[in-house]
Homo-oligomer: A and B are copies of this chain.
Amino acid sequence: MMPSTPLPKNYQLIRDVVDECGLGCHLTPSEIYAKVRERQPGIGLTTIYRGLERLRELGFVSEIEVPGADAAAYEPAGPHHAHFRCSSCGRIEDVAFVIPANTLDALAREHGVEIKDQRVTFEGRCSRCTASG
């Protein structure tokens, strides 16, 4: 089939900013706003929120909600993984960890629910804070 409707220009800019940040990089809507604004000074924060929602629906970006963080963060879509949040400095890092599907299946059966997603977040001290503090 034909390539579906191309992304509106502004949404593409948002996608670019998230993509250029790269894997393992997590940006808040405000941070994205600031970066997009460098290329499109007139854009409004509202459009950032709307664009991020759309891009998430389309599977281009992922939203992560980390307990303790004051705002949601976005990253380019990629392989599923866990996150680590340093409770000292707030830094968020990727952690290569996923609960295997057969474990999820067992849990789902056991609890009589249908599990569609997992969110794993670790909390502690990052190497930088351990070194300095």
Contact = CB atoms under 8 A, between A and B. Distances in A.
Interface of A: 65, 67-68, 84, 86-87, 93, 95-97, 99, 103-104, 107-108, 110-127, 130
Contacts of A113: 84, 86, 93, 122, 124-127, 130
Contacts of A127: 112-113
The 7 A-B pairs with the shortest beta carbon distances in the complex, nearest first, are: A65-B67, A116-B124, A112-B127, A117-B123, A114-B125, A115-B124, A119-B121
A107 B119 contact: no
A81 to B, nearest CB: 11
A125 B120 contact: no
B65 A84 contact: no
Contacts of A67: 65, 67, 119
A124 B130 contact: no
A117 B122 contact: yes
A114 B130 contact: yes
A115 B123 CA distance: 6
A28 B104 CA distance: 27
A116 to B, nearest CB: 4
B95 A111 contact: yes
Contacts of A114: 124-125, 130
